[in-house]
Amino acid sequence: MSRRHGFTLLEISIALVLMGLMVAVAVPSLNAVGGTRLKGAANLLGGAIRDTYARTALLGRSTRIVLDMEQKAWWIEETDGIARIKSTKQEADRDGKVALDKLDQRIEDIEADTRDVQEQAKLALLTGPTFRPVEGEWGQVQKLPADVRFSSIWLEHLDDKVKGGVMALYFYPGGYTEEALITLTDDEGEGGRTLTLVVQPLTGEVLIEHDEPRVPTPEDDT
């Protein structure tokens, strides 16, 4: 009659050590995959910004990259008109969000079909141009990877960084874009892994930093 053979304490200890080594190897590998997706998303958006800057200068019409923080997506639009640099900073609402193409307060009460000459002039001056998606892939919605999201965004026409909403980075035919800080993260909590796209307004160049820079102030130019 054979005796049932159990595991010795030594065998159990060796098995636990081996399992620990396997986990130690697997976790960094998973983190590396996540980091690759974050870096890939940042590089793709950075390339789109550079391409849009060059496209705007070449075609001579205003374009913009729409950044949808709610849907974790972006796409590129253009207009036959000329987008004007905003004279006042846009502020976020109570929830810390901003809206795209927000109507100027000075024309909120004017009917679109008004016959008043002065009101028509105000509408023409203060209503922005109509944008449409560009042809091709860039005009289609570009979703961020499932584990990557916008952490915060600051654009030159925004009063401060925002955490939600829909906004757009504008490009102007004269060879100028807005200064911007676009931060992506693949961590759901605070203090996780981030990459920030720092957009240079006079060249359209994009620098990628591993932290979340502060919003520049007028004193930084002095």
Asked whether residue 190 carries a pLDDT value surpassing 90, the answer given is no
pLDDT tens per residue, range 160-170:
999 999 999 99
* Residue 186 located in a structural domain: yes
**Residue 29: which pLDDT band, with cuts at 50, 70 and 90?**
very low
* Threshold 0.95, pTM exceeds: no
Q: Is residue 105 included in any domain, yes or no? A: no
Residues 6 or more apart whose CB falls under 8 angstroms from that of 210 comprise 194, 195, 196
Work out how many domains the chain is built from and give that number.
1
* pLDDT grade for 187, boundaries at 50, 70 and 90: confident
Mean pLDDT over 194-205 rounds to: 95
Q: Is 106 a domain residue? A: no
- Which structural domain, as residue segments, surrounds residue 16? 11-99+130-221
User: How far apart are the C-alpha atoms of 81 and 111, rounded to whole Å?
Assistant: 22
Do the domain assignments include residue 121? no
Q: What is the pLDDT of residues 128-140, one digit of tens each?
A: 678 999 999 999 9
Residue 122 lies in a domain: no
pLDDT at residue 50, rounded to an integer: 96
pLDDT at 121 over 70: no
Whether 83 contacts 170, CB under 8 Å: yes
Least confident of 22-26, 46-50, 80-84, 199-203: 22-26
180 domain residue, yes or no = yes
pLDDT at 111 over 50: yes
Distance CA 218, CA 76 (A): 29
- The answer to the question of residue 32 being in a domain is yes
**Distance (Å, whole) CA 77 – CA 49:** 12
Assign 185 a pLDDT band (cuts: 50, 70, 90): very high
| pLDDT of 152 | 95
Does residue 113 lie in a domain region? no
Query: Residues 177-197: what's their mean pLDDT?
Result: 86
Three-class SS of the chain: CCCCCCCCHHHHHHHHHHHHHHHHHHHHHHHHHHHHHHHHHHHHHHHHHHHHHHHHHHHCCCEEEEEECCCCEEEEEECCCCCCCCCCCECCCCCCEECCCCCCHHHCCCCCCCCCHHHHHHHHHHCCCCCEECCCHHHCCEECCCCCEEEEEEECCECCCECEEEEEEEEECCCEECCEEEEEECCCCCCCCEEEEEECCCCCCEEEECCCCCCCCHHHHC
CATH of the domain at 216: 3.55.40.10
Percent of the chain residues past pLDDT 70, beyond the cut: 68
Give residue-wise pLDDT tens across range 137-159: 999 999 999 999 999 999 999 99
Position 49 scores a pLDDT of 97
- Tell me the mean pLDDT in the region 23-36: 51
